[in-house]
Structures are given as C-alpha cells and as structure tokens.
Structure 1
Amino acid sequence: MTTERVSAFSDGMIAVIITILALELKAPEEASLAAILPLWPTAASYLLSYLFIAIIWVNHHHLLHLVRFASPRLIWINFAHLFLVSLLPFTTAWMARTDLAPVPVAVYAGVFVLVNVAYLLFEREVFVQADASAVSHHARHIARRRTLGGVALFALAAVTASALPLLGFLLICCALALYLRPEALVTHGK
C-alpha cells in the first residue's frame, strides 16, 4: 500500500471527526450576545479539540512524507491512532455539557494520553522507515523526548483535573504547544 492511500484515508477520517465535533455546537435560543457568554466552556472545549485535531493532521502530514512505503504495522498503528482521535468529539461534548467538570476533563485528558501514546508508536514506526539523511539521530531523539513530554503533561493534566479541572484544562493547552512546529524536528540537526 502506498503512503498516499494512508494519507488520503487519514485525511478523510480527520475531516469526519472535525465534522462530528462541529455538529455538537448548538446555538443559544436567545437572540442576544449575553446568551453566548454561558457557552464559554463549549467554545473553549471546541477550540482546544479543533486545535488538537489540526496539530494531529499537520504532524501526521509531516511524518508521512518521511515514509518510503506503508508497512502493515504502520497501517495498523495509524488505524489505532485514528480510532483514539475519533473519541475526541464525545469527550469534548461531555466536557462542554458539564461546564468543565472534573471527571469529564480528566477523561478528556486521558484520551489525549492515549492519542499521544499511539502517536509515539506511529512516530517510531515512521522513523524506522525514514532515511537517515531526512531525519538525523539528534532530531529523532528530540522528537521522542517531545512526544514523551507530551504524554507526561497530558497524564499530569488528567490527574490534576480530578481536583482542579481548569488547571487540568490549562495543562492540556500547554502540552499542545509542544507540537505546533513539526517541521522543526525534520530540519533540526541538518
């Protein structure tokens, strides 16, 4: 199987996930700006999830450019990763409907942990196939540390959210900042 097929399937899945996420947005019944203010947990949850999915897509795109062929292992890891990403609309809606209550925020952060663990496996499989000249040993090391750091921050957010959900939510935001520039890893060390 070509990497183009894996990329096309992944693009389609991500588009569906974003569509489901957007369908959960409900307009207020009242025709005033004041009616929007109580919806801030929904807006914040949606924005964070949309950003996370966008980051996943950008990082996925950068990694797939490094792959020479789509091995069965890479394909199955990709399926697992996409399955976990598909849980985001559910956890986003739950978190938004409960006004960022502790358990939903903790579960939301837990999904981020699982998505990142799957991403770590995906990243590792890509680097096994990638040409050494495309990604230096040093860049691979930095990428691994970044992903493990992300997993640790998301796990900390899950634990923290149980007692302080807003702080857990903020930790999720901080963890996402680690992934905003995937191209820096590919060009690092050349």
Structure 2
Amino acid sequence: MLQRATPERLSTFSDGVFAVLITVLVLELRPPEQPTFEALLALWPTWLSYAVSYVFIAIVWVNHHHLIRYANEATPSLLWFNFAHLFSMSLLPLSTAWMAVSELAPQPVAFYAAVFFLVNATYVALIWELIDRTPHGDIPPKVRRIMRVRSLTTLCLFGAASVVALRYPLVGLGICICCLIVYLRPEPT
C-alpha cells in the first residue's frame, strides 16, 4: 500500500540522501602512495576540497532541517523542489573529486562553485515554497526578509565565484567558503 508523503518522511528521506552523499564523498579520499608526512601534505588540495565539501553538506543539511520544519504537508511542488535540491547536492562528490585531482585548477573550481550556485538556487525554491507561501502570522516579516536577502545575495556570490574561479581559482573557492559562514546559523536574526 502506498503511503502518503509527510514532512517527516520527506525529512527522513532527505537525511538518507545526505548520509549517502557524505559516504560517497569520503570514498573518494585516497591515502598517499608514500608513507611520509610530506606525501600527506602534498595532498592538501584533496584535503581542502574534502573539508569544504563536508562542511557544505553539514551546513546544507542543518539549513534543510530548519526549513522543512515549516512544512505542514508534503505538497507535490515541495516534493519536486526537494528532489531538485537533493539532485543538486548529488553533484557535490563529482565536483569535489574533479577539483581535488586537478589540484584546484580553474575550470574544476568554477564547476564546483557552479554546483554551490545550483544548490543555493534550489534552496531558494524551497524557501519560496515553505516560507513565502506560509501565512504571514506564522513567520515574522523580518525573518522572511533576512532569509530571502541572504539566499539571493549568496546566490549572486556563488555565481560570481564561478566566473572569478576561471581566472583566480583560489579566490573563487574563497568566495564560496565565505558564503558558507553566512549559513552557519540557519535561524536568521
């Protein structure tokens, strides 16, 4: 018997996807071929890529949980926006691995930033579905405004990071990292 989708089931399913993404991400890590600390340090682009991606997944997961709590029901549009968000997240292990093996080359870093852009764009869609469609009395106007401004500002910055990374990959990656700091607290105040 097919059971009706609920916000709780949506959250549980999403948790499973996030867990798989972290697992796939860690499976890409390879030890150095030489048993020396120098060989381990030479893999710094891999470790940096992994660390940023791990933190990114954690931040997106925390913010996703925060946002889903506003769901009263799992509407078809919410389900599709959530699937789009999870799809965009599923590109992270690929972009992380490419960026790491390229040793932070411009095009892989630009693609990595573009994945951040896509994840944030689908997050904006979730905000639109869950926050903007919620009755105004349930969510204070200040919170709505901050969530909207924060998500649209970081969306623009992730887009800029994609372009900047084509010329200055570390600067593009730095822009992405700075944007993550804004989402460390999911509750805008």
* TM-score, with length taken from structure 2: 0.95
Give RMSD over aligned pairs.
Answer: 1.1
2:108 paired residue among 94, 104, 110: 104
Matches for 1:119-158 after TM superposition, within 5 Å: 119-158=123-162
Given that residues 106 and 159 in structure 1 are in contact (C-alpha distance below 8 angstroms), is that contact kept between their aligned partners in structure 2? yes
Query: What corresponds to 1:82 in structure 2?
Result: 86
Q: What CA distance in whole angstroms lies between the structure 1 residues aligned with 2:31 and 2:134?
A: 46
Query: What corresponds to 1:176 in structure 2?
Result: 180
Flag as ranges the 4+ runs of structure 1 deviating above 3 A: 128-134
Query: What corresponds to 2:25 in structure 1?
Result: 21
Q: What CA distance in whole angstroms lies between the structure 2 residues aligned with 1:52 and 1:141?
A: 23
What are the ranges of 5 or more consecutive residues in structure 2 without an aligned counterpart?
Answer: none
SS at match of 1:60: helix
The alignment covers a number of residue pairs equal to 185
Query: What corresponds to 2:10 in structure 1?
Result: 6
Given that residues 106 and 168 in structure 2 are in contact (C-alpha distance below 8 angstroms), is that contact kept between their aligned partners in structure 1? yes
What do residues 63-116 of structure 1 show as CA deviations (whole Å, max 9, x unaligned)?
111111111100000000100100000000000000000000001101111111
The worse-fitting range, judged by mean Cα deviation, of 8-17 and 122-131 is: 122-131
Aligned amino acid, residue 113 of structure 2: A
SS at match of 2:155: helix
1:48 paired residue among 42, 52, 75: 52
Q: What CA distance in whole angstroms lies between the structure 2 residues aligned with 1:165 and 1:128?
A: 35
Q: What CA distance in whole angstroms lies between the structure 2 residues aligned with 1:161 and 1:2?
A: 40
What are the ranges of 5 or more consecutive residues in structure 1 without an aligned counterpart?
Answer: none
Q: What CA distance in whole angstroms lies between the structure 2 residues aligned with 1:103 and 1:129?
A: 38
* TM-score, with length taken from structure 1: 0.94
Deviation at 1:134, TM superposition (A): 3.9
Deviation at 1:31, TM superposition (A): 1.4
Q: What CA distance in whole angstroms lies between the structure 2 residues aligned with 1:106 and 1:17?
A: 21
Aligned amino acid, residue 131 of structure 2: F
Query: What corresponds to 2:122 in structure 1?
Result: 118
Deviation at 1:130, TM superposition (A): 3.4
Identity of aligned residues (%): 50
Alignment pair present for 1:39 and 2:43:
yes
In structure 2, relative to structure 1, the CA distance for the partners of 1:128 and 1:148 (3 Å cut) is: closer
Q: What CA distance in whole angstroms lies between the structure 2 residues aligned with 1:83 and 1:25?
A: 22
SS at match of 1:144: helix
